[in-house]
Amino acid sequence: MKRIILCLFGCCVIAGASARDLGQWGNSDPAVRQWYQALMQPDVPNASCCGEADAYWADEVHVRNGKTYATITDDRADEPLKRPHVDIGTEIEIPNNKLKWDRGNPTGHGIVFLGRSGYVFCYVQPSGT
Protein backbone atom coordinates (compact mmCIF):
# COMPACT_ATOMS: atom_id res chain seq x y z
CA MET A 1 0.00 0.00 0.00
CA LYS A 2 2.84 2.36 0.87
CA ARG A 3 4.44 1.76 -2.54
CA ILE A 4 1.18 2.54 -4.33
CA ILE A 5 0.80 5.82 -2.46
CA LEU A 6 4.42 6.78 -3.19
CA CYS A 7 3.94 5.89 -6.86
CA LEU A 8 0.79 8.02 -7.11
CA PHE A 9 2.56 10.90 -5.39
CA GLY A 10 5.49 10.57 -7.79
CA CYS A 11 3.15 10.64 -10.79
CA CYS A 12 1.51 13.80 -9.47
CA VAL A 13 4.89 15.48 -9.00
CA ILE A 14 5.99 14.46 -12.49
CA ALA A 15 2.67 15.68 -13.91
CA GLY A 16 3.12 19.08 -12.28
CA ALA A 17 6.65 19.41 -13.55
CA SER A 18 5.66 18.52 -17.11
CA ALA A 19 2.93 21.15 -17.21
CA ARG A 20 5.24 24.13 -16.82
CA ASP A 21 5.57 26.77 -19.50
CA LEU A 22 8.71 26.16 -21.56
CA GLY A 23 7.72 28.70 -24.17
CA GLN A 24 5.33 26.38 -26.00
CA TRP A 25 2.39 28.61 -25.08
CA GLY A 26 3.67 31.66 -26.95
CA ASN A 27 1.66 31.15 -30.14
CA SER A 28 -1.39 29.53 -28.58
CA ASP A 29 -4.88 30.96 -28.57
CA PRO A 30 -5.44 32.24 -24.99
CA ALA A 31 -8.75 30.36 -24.63
CA VAL A 32 -7.17 27.08 -25.76
CA ARG A 33 -4.16 27.69 -23.50
CA GLN A 34 -6.49 28.22 -20.53
CA TRP A 35 -8.37 25.02 -21.40
CA TYR A 36 -5.11 23.01 -21.47
CA GLN A 37 -3.96 24.50 -18.18
CA ALA A 38 -7.27 23.80 -16.39
CA LEU A 39 -7.61 20.17 -17.51
CA MET A 40 -7.31 17.68 -14.63
CA GLN A 41 -6.85 13.91 -14.70
CA PRO A 42 -10.16 12.05 -14.31
CA ASP A 43 -8.75 9.62 -11.73
CA VAL A 44 -6.55 12.17 -9.90
CA PRO A 45 -8.69 15.34 -9.95
CA ASN A 46 -6.04 17.50 -8.29
CA ALA A 47 -3.37 16.57 -10.87
CA SER A 48 -3.06 18.23 -14.25
CA CYS A 49 -3.47 16.31 -17.51
CA CYS A 50 -0.31 18.24 -18.35
CA GLY A 51 -0.01 20.75 -21.11
CA GLU A 52 0.55 21.28 -24.78
CA ALA A 53 4.06 19.82 -24.53
CA ASP A 54 2.48 16.48 -23.58
CA ALA A 55 -0.50 16.62 -25.95
CA TYR A 56 -0.81 14.68 -29.18
CA TRP A 57 -3.75 14.71 -31.56
CA ALA A 58 -5.31 11.26 -31.61
CA ASP A 59 -8.43 11.56 -33.72
CA GLU A 60 -8.86 7.85 -34.44
CA VAL A 61 -10.39 6.05 -31.46
CA HIS A 62 -11.68 2.50 -31.32
CA VAL A 63 -12.53 -0.20 -28.81
CA ARG A 64 -11.12 -3.69 -29.18
CA ASN A 65 -11.70 -6.50 -26.68
CA GLY A 66 -13.14 -4.02 -24.19
CA LYS A 67 -10.10 -1.71 -24.31
CA THR A 68 -9.94 1.79 -25.79
CA TYR A 69 -7.20 2.68 -28.26
CA ALA A 70 -6.32 6.05 -29.77
CA THR A 71 -4.13 6.40 -32.83
CA ILE A 72 -1.76 9.36 -33.11
CA THR A 73 -2.75 11.61 -36.02
CA ASP A 74 -0.70 14.65 -35.00
CA ASP A 75 1.36 16.08 -37.86
CA ARG A 76 2.46 19.23 -36.01
CA ALA A 77 6.17 19.87 -35.58
CA ASP A 78 7.41 18.67 -32.18
CA GLU A 79 10.12 21.25 -31.55
CA PRO A 80 7.89 24.34 -31.21
CA LEU A 81 5.74 22.38 -28.74
CA LYS A 82 8.87 21.17 -26.92
CA ARG A 83 7.71 17.55 -26.88
CA PRO A 84 9.22 14.19 -27.83
CA HIS A 85 8.29 12.78 -31.21
CA VAL A 86 5.59 10.11 -31.50
CA ASP A 87 5.04 8.72 -35.00
CA ILE A 88 1.71 9.20 -36.75
CA GLY A 89 -0.11 5.86 -36.65
CA THR A 90 1.20 4.89 -33.22
CA GLU A 91 -1.60 3.19 -31.33
CA ILE A 92 -1.92 4.05 -27.64
CA GLU A 93 -3.99 2.00 -25.20
CA ILE A 94 -6.07 4.37 -23.08
CA PRO A 95 -6.88 2.99 -19.63
CA ASN A 96 -10.55 3.45 -18.76
CA ASN A 97 -9.65 5.62 -15.76
CA LYS A 98 -7.86 8.07 -18.10
CA LEU A 99 -10.87 8.75 -20.37
CA LYS A 100 -11.95 12.33 -19.77
CA TRP A 101 -15.57 13.03 -20.70
CA ASP A 102 -16.52 15.89 -18.39
CA ARG A 103 -15.08 18.86 -20.30
CA GLY A 104 -15.55 20.27 -23.76
CA ASN A 105 -12.66 20.35 -26.18
CA PRO A 106 -12.02 23.55 -28.16
CA THR A 107 -9.23 22.03 -30.29
CA GLY A 108 -11.41 19.98 -32.63
CA HIS A 109 -9.11 16.98 -32.08
CA GLY A 110 -9.04 14.01 -29.78
CA ILE A 111 -6.02 14.55 -27.53
CA VAL A 112 -3.91 12.07 -25.61
CA PHE A 113 -1.57 13.47 -22.96
CA LEU A 114 1.56 11.33 -22.70
CA GLY A 115 4.46 11.33 -20.26
CA ARG A 116 7.97 10.92 -21.60
CA SER A 117 7.84 7.19 -20.81
CA GLY A 118 4.52 6.76 -22.65
CA TYR A 119 2.36 7.01 -19.51
CA VAL A 120 -1.17 8.18 -20.38
CA PHE A 121 -2.28 11.10 -18.22
CA CYS A 122 -5.61 11.71 -20.01
CA TYR A 123 -7.51 11.24 -23.23
CA VAL A 124 -10.02 13.93 -24.20
CA GLN A 125 -12.50 13.11 -26.93
CA PRO A 126 -12.92 15.50 -29.86
CA SER A 127 -15.88 17.82 -29.54
CA GLY A 128 -16.96 21.41 -29.90
CA THR A 129 -16.45 23.86 -27.06
Q: pLDDT, tens digit, for every residue of 47-85? A: 999 888 899 999 999 999 999 999 999 999 999 989 999
Between CA 59 and CA 57 the distance in angstroms is 6
Separation CA 116–CA 123 (nearest Å): 16
Residue 11 lies in a domain: yes
Looking at the structure of the chain, the number of domains it has is 1
Whether 88 is covered by a domain: the verdict is yes
In a domain, 129, yes or no: no
E strand segments, 3-110: 55-57, 60-64, 67-71, 91-94, 99-100
pLDDT of residue 27: 60
- Is 80 part of a structural domain of the chain? yes
Phi, psi of 80 (to 5 degrees): -65, -25
Domain that holds residue 19: 2-124
3-state secondary structure of 20: coil
